[in-house]
Amino acid sequence: MIRMAVFLGNTGRGYASTRHNAGFMLADHLFPSASYSVKFHSAYAKEGGLVILKPLTQMNLSGTAVSEAATFFKIPSEEILVVHDDLEIPLGKAVWRLGGGLQGHNGLRSIKERIGTAAFWRLRIGIGRPVHGDVANYVLSPFSEEEKAVLEALFHLVKEEWTTRPIDGKEIRTSR
């Protein structure tokens, strides 16, 4: 059972609609009326038995927030879901997975370092990889209007699946 859902992103208006903030964007879609407090270096809320966490650190320091909240609420790693953007998955697709590699994602690396394991659930939101150009600029650039529509459709499908326990390797796609 998932007891804490961590949605990764960067704080600040300049990052609000960027690819790296896909996690924050999904949190806002799933929990539009959540009443957040600031604690654990995060904006956090509780919805039923679920702790919702949006780290207020920069993405690369997300582990600080996750470890503080997990320790406080006594939540083991296998009951944590981390929602994050993923370059290796095409836009319009998301994948549930327990554990796995970090794929160079510094937010995931920070979480693994702080909680001592990579054995936590992930919901990897596809943002695609740029054909040309710098990856750092790409992940920090905003979605186009067309991409936002694809992302919104994906978020609706994720919401439909949200109440079921993630199944390792399960994919969600906007085009079936």
Task: Please state the domain extents for the chain.
Answer: 4-173
What pLDDT shows up at residue 175?
Answer: 61
pTM, full prediction: 0.92
According to the model, what pLDDT value does residue 101 have? 81
Q: In this predicted model, what pLDDT tens digit does every residue of 90-119 receive, in sequence order?
A: 999 999 988 888 777 888 899 999 999 999
Of 19, 18, 105, 20, which Cα lies nearest the Cα of 63? 105
What number is the average pLDDT over the span 66-94?
A: 94
Q: What is the pLDDT of residues 119-143, one digit of tens each?
A: 999 999 999 998 887 888 998 999 9
> Known catalytic residue: 20?
yes
Kindly tell me if the per-residue pLDDT of 165 is higher than 70.
no
4-173: CATH, from 1.20.5.510, 3.40.50.1470, 3.40.50.720, 3.30.565.10? 3.40.50.1470
- What is the arithmetic mean of pLDDT over 75-93? 93
The answer on pLDDT for 151 being more than 80 is yes
* Ordered DSSP codes for the chain: ---EEEE----SGGGTTBGGGHHHHHHHHH-TT---EEETTEEEEEETTEEEEEE-S-GGGHHHHHHHHHHHHT--GGGEEEEEEETTS-TTEEEEEES---TT-HHHHHHHHHHS-S-SEEEEEE----SSS-HHHHHTSBPPHHHHHHHHHHHHHHHHHTTSPP-TT-EEES--
pLDDT at 176: 43
Report the range of poorest mean pLDDT among 32-41, 88-97, 129-138, 150-159: 129-138
Catalytic residue among 20, 41, 84, 105: 20
